[in-house]
Amino acid sequence: MESMTQVAREGARLAAYDDDEPTESSMMQEDTERECARFYVDVASAPETFLGGMRSMGLLRGNDDEMHLLREETIDYLRRGLTIPLGASYTSLDASRPWLLYWMLQALDLLDAFPSDLVAGVRLALKECCAAGSLGFGGNFMQVGHTAPTYAAVLAICILDDDEAFQLLDRDAIYRFFMSLKHPSGGFRVQPDGEIDTRGLYTVLAVASILNILTPELTEGCAKFIADCQTYEGGIGGEPGNEAHGGYAFCGIAALAILGELDAIDLDAFVHWIAARQMRYEGGFQGRTNKLVDACYSFWQGATPAILREAAVRGDLHSSIGALAGVEGLIYDEERMQQYIILCCQQFQGGLRDKPSKRRDQYHTCYALSGLSVAQLGGSKVWGTQTNRLVETDPVYNIEREKLRRAKERFADLPPPVLSESTD
Of the residues 36, 158, 296, 345, only one is catalytic, namely: 296
Instruction: Mark whether 354 is an active-site residue.
Output: yes
Active-site annotation holder among 109, 161, 228, 361: 361
> By the 8 A CB rule, do 355 and 292 touch?
yes
Q: Verify whether residue 272 is a known catalytic residue.
A: no
Q: Is 296 a catalytic residue?
A: yes
Which candidate in 127, 272, 291, 389 is catalytic? 291
Which residue among the candidates 109, 228, 294, 394 is catalytic per the annotation? 294
- Among 354, 360, 367, 397, which one carries the catalytic annotation? 354
Q: Can you give the three-state secondary structure of the chain, one letter per residue?
A: CCCHHHHHHHCCCCCCCCCCCCCHHHHHHHHHHHHHHCCCCCHHHCCHHHHHHHHHHCCCCCCCCCCCCCHHHHHHHHHHHHHCCCCHHHHHHCCCHHHHHHHHHHHHHHCCCCCHHHHHHHHHHHHCCECHHHCCECCCCCCCCEHHHHHHHHHHHHHHCCHHHHCCCCHHHHHHHHHHHECCCCCEECCCCCCECHHHHHHHHHHHHHHCCCCHHHHCCHHHHHHHCECCCCCECCCCCCCCCHHHHHHHHHHHHHHCCHHHCCHHHHHHHHHHCECCCCCCEECCCCCCECCCHHHHCCHHHHHHHHHHHHCCCCCCHHHHHCCCCCCCCHHHHHHHHHHHCECCCCCECCCCCCCCCHHHHHHHHHHHHHHCHHHCCCCCCHHHCCCCECCCCCCEHHHHHHHHHHHCCCCCCCCCCCCC
Q: CB 190: neighbour CB atoms within 10 A?
A: 22
Active site includes 294? yes
Q: Is 288 a catalytic residue?
A: yes
Q: Which of 146, 288, 355, 403 is catalytic?
A: 288
User: Distances in Å between the alpha carbon of 398 and those of 57, 226, 318?
Assistant: 29, 20, 25
Q: Are 299 and 341 in contact (CB under 8 A)?
A: no
- Of 75, 73, 44, 40, nearest to 56 by C-alpha is 73
364 is catalytic: yes
Mark whether 394 is an active-site residue. no
CA distance 325 to 347: 33
Which of 189, 245, 277, 336 does the annotation list as catalytic? 245
Catalytic residue among 40, 297, 332, 340: 297
Burial of 331 (0-12, 13-18, 19+ CB in 10 A): buried
Query: Which one is catalytic: 123, 277, 360, 364?
Result: 364
The residues annotated with a catalytic role in the active site are: 245, 288, 291, 294, 296-297, 354, 361, 364
